[in-house]
Amino acid sequence: MAYSEKVVDHFNNPRNMGSFKKDEDGVGTGIVGAPECGDVMKLQIKVQNDTIVDAKFKTFGCGSAIASSSLATEWLKGKTVDEANQIKNTDIVQELNLPPVKIHCSVLAEDAIKAALADYKKKSGEQQ
Amino acid sequence: MKLPIFMDNHSTTPMDPRVLEAMLPYFVEKFGNSASRNHAFGWEAEEAVENARKQIARTIHADSKEIVFTSGATESDNLAIKGVVEMYHEKGDHIITSSTEHRAVLDTCKALESKRGVKVTYLPVDKAGMVKPEDVRNAITDKTILITIMMANNEIGTINPIKDIGKIAKEKGILFHCDATQGVGKIPVDVQDMGIDLMSFSAHKLYGPKGVGALYVRKKAPRVRIAAQMDGGGHERGMRSGTLPVPLIVGFGKAVELCEQEMPTESKRLSAMRDRLQTAITSKLEEVYLNGHSTQRLPNNLNLSFAYVEGESLLMGLKEIALSSGSACTSATLEPSYVLRALGVGSDLAHSSIRFGLGRFNTDEEVDYTAKRIIEVVTKLREMSPLYEMAKEGIDLKSVQWAAH
C-alpha cells in the first residue's frame, strides 16, 4: 500500500513527539487503543488560560496512526479547549488522505484528543 | 550494494539468469504445443517438457509419470484436496489438516466444509509451530480420507515431522498430501522416504518463473487417483487439462536442478547469513523474540518480534529493504497473523513481527546493512512508543485496562 506524502512526512519528521509529566499543572493526558489491536496513542496537552500552549504525543501503531497523532498535536496548539473539542476524525482523514482501511487511525486520534481534554477538565475541576 | 534490498524470498524469488537462458528458446523459436503428436514442432516441445519432468521427479525421488504440471502451488493444493475428496467420497468425508497451513489449503478445506459438508479437523501446533504426529494419529476416524500437512511454514519456517506423519498415514491407509511450497529446493525432499502421496510445489519460490507449479501424485503403493478439476483435452494423464506452458516448465526444471546441485553449499551459506543477521540484531536490541523453531526451520527464515514496535511502521521506516510483517494492519479484519496466533504468540507481539526471507542473491553486506537499519528504526520507534515508555517506568502492560477498539 502506498502512503500519502503527508503521512510519510509526519512519519519521518514527527511533530511534538515526547511527553509531559502527567501531574504537571495544566497537563491533560489521553491514552487510547490497546496493544492487542496494534494501536496505542498517548496524547498530552498543556493548557494555560483556557488555551492549549503545547501538545505532545507518543504512538505505537502503523505509519497512519503515527501521522494522525502527530498532526493532531500540530492542530491542538493555539486552540482553546472548546475549539479543540471540535476537531473531527474526518478532518484528519482529509488532511492526510487516509484510505478506508486507515480511518480507524483517525478515529483513535479524535478519541485521544477527547480523552486528553476530559483529563484536563477533570484535573482543573478538582483544583477549583 | 544496490538498494532496495530484496529480503522477502518466502513471497517469491528473483529468477536465476541461468533459468531464463534455458527458457528463452521456447518462446519464439521452439514454440510448439507439446500435445502435437504429428510434427517436429510438437516433438521438440514434448521432449523439453519430458526432460523438465524428469529433472523435477529426480529431485523429489519420484517417477516422472507422477508429476502433474499446474499453474502453481495454489492450484496444486486445490487439485489434490478437492480431487481426493471427490474421488474418495464413498470411502469417507473427513480431512485432517493444521491451523498454520497456507490459505490455499485452509480455504480449500473451508470451501469443502460449506459446499460439500466435508468434516475437517484443524490440528493445533506447539509453541514452535510444529504439528505433533500423535495429534494426527488421534484425530483419525474411520471416515478420514486425507491428511494434509505442510512441509515448512511460509511465515516462521518451522519444518514439520513429515516422515513421522507419513508413517502414520501409511499405517492407517490414509492418503497424505503435503504442501511443500517452501520446502522443495530449500531442504532435501524424498517422497518415498517421507511417505508422501501427493505433494504441491511451485517454481517461483525456487528461482524459477511465476505461473507454473506441480502436483506429485503417487502411482504405486498406493496408486492415488484424483478427480480432475479442469476438464478439457485430457492433458497430464487426464488430471489437469490445458496446453502446457512449455517455456515455464523448462524454466521450472532448470530451477529445480540448480537448487538440487547447489543445496549442500547454499543451505549452509543461507543459515550462516541468517544467524549473522539474528546475532547482529539481538546483540544490540533488547526484547526481541524469535517466532518459530530454533533449529527445525528453513535455513533462510528468520521471524522476529520487536516488543513495543508495530510491524507495519517498522517496515515503513525500512523502505529500502523488502521485508514482510505479521501485522495485518492493512487487512480488513485488522487481525494479526493467524500463524503467530496459533503458536500462542500474543496479539501485541504478533503485531510486532517481521519476517526476513534470505535468498540466493543476498550477500553478507546486505545482511549487515539490514541489521544496522533494523536497530536504528526499532530504537527510533521505541522512543516514539508509549508502551516502551510505560514498560521503562516499570508498568506491567498486561495489568493495564486497555480500551480495545
pLDDT at residue B268 tops 80 = yes
Q: Are residues B248 and B320 in the same domain?
A: no
Q: Are residues B228 and B331 in the same domain?
A: no
Mean pLDDT throughout B200-207? 98
Q: Are residues B213 and B74 in the same domain?
A: yes
Nearest to B257, CA basis, from B14, B11, B18, B12: B18
Q: Residue B257 is placed in which grid cell?
A: 536442478
Helices (H), B88-228: 103-116, 133-139, 162-172, 191-194
CATH of the domain at B54: 3.40.640.10
CB contact under 8 A, B310 and A58: no
What are the pLDDT digits (tens) for B208-243? 999 999 999 999 999 999 999 999 999 999 999 999
Query: Which residues on chain B are in Cβ contact (under 8 Å) with A62?
Result: 310, 312-313, 316, 327, 329-330
Query: Which residues on chain A are in Cβ contact (under 8 Å) with B346?
Result: 36
Does A72 touch chain B if contact means CB atoms closer than 8 Å?
no
- How far the first Cα of chain A sits from its last, in Å, is 50
Give dist(CA B316, CA B329) in Å, integer: 12
Does B329 touch chain A if contact means CB atoms closer than 8 Å?
yes
Q: Are residues B190 and B294 in the same domain?
A: no
What are the pLDDT digits (tens) for B8-28? 999 999 999 999 999 999 999
What is the residue range of B350's domain?
Answer: 5-10+263-397
Residue in B closest to A63 by C-alpha:
B313
Q: Are residues B100 and B39 in the same domain?
A: yes
Is the distance from CB of B216 to CB of B67 less than 8 angstroms? yes
Q: Are residues B243 and B270 in the same domain?
A: no
| pLDDT band for position B259 (cuts 50, 70, 90) | very high
Q: Are residues B103 and B247 in the same domain?
A: yes
ipTM of the complex: 0.94
User: What is the DSSP secondary-structure string of chain A?
Assistant: -PPPHHHHHHHHS-SSBS---TTSTTEEEEEEEEGGGTEEEEEEEEEETTEEEEEEEEEES-HHHHHHHHHHHHHHTT-BHHHHTT--HHHHHHHHT--GGGHHHHHHHHHHHHHHHHHHHHHHHHH-
Q: Choose, from A8, A37, A53, A118, the residue flagged as catalytic.
A: A37
For chain A, the C-alpha Rg in angstroms (whole number) is: 14
| pLDDT band for position B195 (cuts 50, 70, 90) | very high
Residuewise pLDDT in 10s, chain A (128 residues) = 678 999 999 999 999 999 999 999 999 999 999 998 899 999 999 999 999 999 999 999 999 999 999 999 999 999 999 999 999 999 999 999 999 989 999 999 999 999 999 999 999 886 65
Q: What is the count of structural domains for chain B?
A: 2
What are the pLDDT digits (tens) for B21-73? 999 999 999 999 999 999 999 999 999 999 999 999 999 999 999 999 999 99
Q: Residue B294 is placed in which grid cell?
A: 530454533
Give dist(CA B184, CA B202) in Å, integer: 8
What are the pLDDT digits (tens) for B322-334? 999 987 654 556 6
Q: Find where cell 474421488 sits.
A: B87
Give dist(CA B45, CA B269) in Å, integer: 36
The fraction of chain B above a pLDDT of 70, given in percent, is: 98
3-state secondary structure of B226: coil
In a domain, B402, yes or no: no
Give dist(CA B184, CA B204) in Å, integer: 11
pLDDT at residue B175 tops 80 = yes
